[in-house]
Amino acid sequence: MSAVLREIWPFVEAQHDAGHDVVLARLVDRDGPGARPLGATMAIAEDGTWRGSVSGGCVEGMVLDAARAVLDGAAPKVAAVSPGAHLMPWEETPACAGELQVLLTRTPAAPIRAAITSALADDRPLAVRVELEPPYSWSVADTATWRGTGGPAFVEELVLRSTLVLIGATDLAAVLARLAEPLHRRVIILDPRPGHVMSGGFPASCEVIRAWPDEWIGGIHLTAADAVVTLTHDPRIDDRAIRAALLSGAGHVAALGSRATHARRLLRLHGTTGLDRLNGPAGLDLGGASLAETALSILAEVVAAGNARTGQRLREVHTPIRATLPAR
């Protein structure tokens, strides 16, 4: 299971830092299709602000009312919520008409909150368990050793983020890093050129490292969930990075450039091990021209490749909309 808590946790931290109580509404079960995965969470603060969702928008109003009751002193509970509950008999029910089981409970005590915050900040695996019977106790443990005991519970594993390695500290890399922030990817930008690394144009959420990319890639462990994209247009840098990336365990390797540039690149790299894995020109066919549109195209291909999808229009394929790949 992916780390759904990561989506709303910055809001939870900010509210607690401001001295506000917060109730979490978590989707723990359902008997039909739905727009959000199990574990989807809303965080509702006592000042009326909130983040997240447990459905595509059908039941959030009901969940907000139930959460406010808990904030006002009602007991935590697992509530049955149905998108069709407020409809008249002749009104058509939404597609996600199954009954949802939503756990409504205050955020865990400070030690548990701190453990979750630390795991997310340090990118460490952690199992977060909450009992589904009163008193709805929370606990955390190392996913490698913990099996869990007791009654029925909902467990979310905070998994390691996938890594996006960008070769070249360029303006396009900066836009890519910003677009990748809500995707919760670890973004690393590599460039051996000191002037590029020191430009100061990159978001704080990414790591900018001055290094020859082949040397850096050769010294770490990349997995099938990770991606490497070259952006410099400088063969002295990009070609070395591509060779190293193709030898690594990275699941997606792509190179920016026109079709003519890529054709010349393939001639230079002829005979390179794994060259058939190289995706170029990088990106999906969006027709974009601006930096943001180009970054969107590249990042969309990264997401599609990571989910083993083609990147086609949804109306042209018949696969489930959400990928159900196993967690890392």
Domain with residue 177: its CATH number is 3.40.50.720
Q: Are residues 187 and 254 in the same domain?
A: yes
Q: Are residues 195 and 237 in the same domain?
A: yes
Q: Are residues 12 and 149 in the same domain?
A: yes
Q: Are residues 107 and 198 in the same domain?
A: no
Instruction: Tell whether omega for the bond before 281 is within 30 degrees of 0, i.e. cis.
Output: yes
CA distances (Å), origin 92, targets 30, 85, 87, 95: 20, 12, 8, 9
- Residues 167 and 231: their CA atoms lie apart, in Å, by 6
* Residue from 236, 195, 228 nearest 212 by CA: 236
- pLDDT tens for the 328 residues of the chain, in order: 456 899 999 999 999 999 999 999 999 998 877 788 899 999 999 999 999 999 877 789 999 999 999 999 999 999 999 876 555 444 555 555 578 999 999 999 999 999 999 999 998 889 999 999 999 999 999 865 666 566 799 999 998 899 999 999 999 999 999 999 999 999 999 999 999 999 989 999 999 999 999 999 999 999 999 999 999 999 999 999 999 999 999 999 999 999 999 999 999 999 999 999 999 999 999 998 999 999 999 999 999 999 999 999 989 988 887 776 544 4
| Residue 57 belongs to a domain | yes
Are 263 and 238 in contact by the 8 Å Cβ rule? The answer is: no
In angstroms, how far is CA 259 from the centroid of its own chain? 31
User: Among the three residues 141, 158, 175, which one is the final residue of a domain in this structure?
Assistant: 158
Q: Coil, helix or strand for 283?
A: coil
Residue that the structure tokens 């060779």 belong to: 243
- Residues 123 and 142: their CA atoms lie apart, in Å, by 13
Residue-range definition of the domain harbouring residue 236: 163-314
- Global pTM value: 0.87
Spell out the residues 6+ positions from residue 59 whose beta carbon is closer than 8 angstroms to its own: 81, 82, 83, 100, 102
* Residue from 19, 106, 108, 17 nearest 69 by CA: 106
Q: Are residues 152 and 169 in the same domain?
A: no
* Residue from 49, 48, 38, 39 nearest 10 by CA: 49
Structure confidence at residue 32 (pLDDT):
74
Bridge partners, residue 163, by sequence? 186
Q: Are residues 207 and 140 in the same domain?
A: no
Give the end-to-end CA distance of the chain in Å, rounded to a whole number: 9
Q: Are residues 106 and 23 in the same domain?
A: yes
Q: Are residues 244 and 295 in the same domain?
A: yes
Q: Are residues 224 and 244 in the same domain?
A: yes
Q: How many domains does the chain have?
A: 2
| Residue 328 belongs to a domain | no
